[in-house]
Amino acid sequence: MSPTAPPARRLLHAPPVAASPFPYHPGSLLSASDLSLEGVSHILARATALENQDPLVRDRILAKRRVALLFYESSTRTRTSFELAAKGLGADTTLVSSLSSSIEKGETLKDTGLTLRALGAETIILRHNSSGAAWLLEAETRLPVLNAGDGMHEHPTQALLDLRTILAHLRPGVEAVTSETLAGVTVSIVGDILHSRVARSNMLLLPRLGARVLLCGPKELLPELAAQAGPGIAIERDFEAALRQSQAVMMLRIQAERLAGLQLDLDEYKANYQLTGLRLAAHAPAAIVMHPGPIIRGLEVTAGVADGPQSVILEQVRNGVAIRMAVVERALLATEPGGRA
């Protein structure tokens, strides 16, 4: 191409952007934006139904089906709850983690995925340190892939369990969600937004139900650009002002493993953004306090707040099992006659 060709002319002749082919499999869950509100409602309803079902009946739903958990990053909540969820439905599970597998010898994600498929895995639950890894794995294996967190990108089942927690407190009994369900609700997400896949998936989900999402944190961890992430999302740098507007406050840890050399003054951070009992009582005495975990006590939240009466952090953990039962069931029944996707 001639170096003098005008850029505008090139743009006029640019081909239209093709619609994304992802997810290839109707049972996959790669992004919170994969789901219609009807799909979200269905998962919420199945989570409740499965949670209440007799375990002896429930464990026949996916009896002997094969679920692989492929974890390249450490996890306590997500890994354990996915495993308990799959086992609770009767599936056989196997865990492959990067530290005790041929991944250590240099095997690629593609080859590991194809190997798991050849071994009979019918769905793969993937946590990976690279953003986009779940999309690559799905494209290469064409299996239903459940994104259990990809780098700084997304964590869709966390957003679903967070939604279930918010609904239980602010809209009790509601499972069939609409674009109005969370109208009038402000959820503040506070801390390291830049590196947070939890923040991103919640930003993709909550505004679609009518919630206002306020992002709060210092410039190093929350670029101005984030305010343009979508409708219903705004930045409020003043933590106490954000608290005063919030019915739910989602605190995030600083992701030390992704800071890439960024130096933060932690004393200044705590002075401005730590959720203390005094701040909570003064500015948001009725809000629920959420955290995806792991918590760094004494940094983003005090121990008193984490263990206090407004904390719903362990409810979030419990909701993980029910939501992941629904998502694993969807993954494996989506293509079958009578599948529920």
Contact 184, 232 (CB under 8 A): no
The span from the CA of 236 to the CA of 143, in Å, is 41
Q: Which is nearer to ligand CP, 136 or 317 (CB)?
A: 317
CB of 290 to ligand CP, least distance (A): 11
Nearer to ligand CP, 144 or 293 (CB): 293
| Distance between CA atoms of residues 238 and 86, nearest Å | 42
**Separation in Å, CA 263 to CA 177, 184, 251:** 42, 37, 20
CB of 292 to ligand CP, least distance (A): 4
Q: At its nearest, how many Å lie between ligand CP and the CB of residue 282?
A: 28
What distance in Å separates the CA atoms of residue 59 and residue 75, rounded to the nearest whole number?
25
Identify whether the C-beta of residue 136 lies closer than 8 Å to the C-beta of residue 110.
yes
How far apart are the C-alpha atoms of 210 and 25, rounded to whole Å? Answer: 28
Distance CA 172, CA 166 (A): 9
Rounded CA gap, 286 and 305, in Å? 13
CB of 198 to ligand CP, least distance (A): 7
d(CA 109, CA 321): 26
For residues 294 and 298, which CB has a smaller minimum distance to ligand CP in the complex?
A: 294
Angle at 164 between CA 149 and CA 186, to 5 degrees: 95
Query: Between residues 233 and 250, which has the closer beta carbon with respect to ligand CP?
Result: 250
Pairing assessment for the beta strands 145-150 and 123-128 based on DSSP bridges = parallel
Residue 176 or 314: the one with the smaller Cβ distance to ligand CP is 314
CB of 315 to ligand CP, least distance (A): 13
Question: Measured from the CB atom, is 123 or 158 closer to ligand CP?
Answer: 158
- Applying CB under 6 A, the residues found at the interface with ligand CP are 75-79, 149, 158, 292-294
Residue 243, both tokens: 């608290």
From the CB of 52, what's the least distance to ligand CP, in Å? 24
Q: Least CB distance from residue 11 to ligand CP, whole Å? A: 40
Nearest residue (CB) to ligand CP, 48 versus 76 = 76
Cβ nearer to ligand CP, comparing 65 with 253: 253
The least distance separating ligand CP from the CB of residue 76, rounded to whole angstroms, comes to 4
Give the amino acid at 30: L
The separation between CA 338 and the C-alpha centre of its own chain, rounded to angstroms, equals 27
Number of other residues whose CB lies within 10 A of the CB of residue 15? 5
CB-CB neighbours of 254 under 10 Å? 22
